[in-house]
Amino acid sequence: MSWTQMKELFSASGQLGLLPAFPSQGLRITDDQWTLNIAGGPPTSGTFAMTAVGQAVTVNWNETPASLQTKLTNALGAGNAICTGTALPSGNILIVFTGTLAQASQTITLGANSLTGGGPPGVSHTVTGNATVETAPTGGGTAVTGACVVQFDPFAPMTATQLGFPAGGTITQLVQAMHNATGTGPTTGMIVNIYA
């Protein structure tokens, strides 16, 4: 199985079809992504330790994406992490590794915390980065298994099993199932990422 990037198109009769987005190569897999949050009741003060790619930073109970990005820039170098989302303690901060840390699997761990009145902090690895460039494999008629994955922006990747899609269907049908699950319609030229 390998990742490839396909473009949606429509036949004259309005049927959804897929073509390789780039004739000679497939998908360059996305950058590594993590989500940071504080579970349970919101704390009223304190900090916790976070280690990102071997570099320690102290995270405040009410850290904002912008302030965390500044800390990660100081620890990892300019352009190596982007933080978006909403401020702790009630929000989630999305951390995406970019620059020299792009398109590779990275690590984040949490250490001791001194949060008062809430917690604990949590971090989840939401997308594993990888820089593999594949030769574009097959078209949309290839049969899929339950492990096949489909993804398009801004939605998270979903496996055929998560979509309730039966094994043996085609990739084109799997993409249509993803559209049905996300309440979106196919769009000519839309880039679809397929792992099959």
Strands (E), the chain: 3-10, 16-20, 33-38, 47-52, 55-60, 81-85, 93-97, 108-113, 121-127, 149-151, 158-159, 191-195
Does residue 160 register a pLDDT over 70?
A: yes
Tell me which of 65-69, 147-151, 161-165, 186-190 is least confident.
186-190
How many C-beta atoms lie closer than 10 Å to residue 99's C-beta?
14
pLDDT tier, 98 (very low <50, low <70, confident <90, very high otherwise): confident
Does residue 20 register a pLDDT over 60?
A: no
Tell me which of 46-50, 85-89, 100-104, 163-167 is least confident.
163-167
pLDDT reported for residue 165: 74
Average pLDDT over residues 42-66: 96
Tell me which of 10-14, 37-41, 103-107, 169-173 is least confident.
10-14
pLDDT reported for residue 150: 75
Portion of the chain with pLDDT greater than 70, in percent? 71
Q: What is the pTM of this model?
A: 0.56
CA 42 to chain centroid, in Å, comes to 26
CA distance 157 to 148: 10
pLDDT reported for residue 18: 59
Does residue 49 register a pLDDT over 50?
A: yes
Q: Which two tokens stand for residue 8?
A: 């949606």
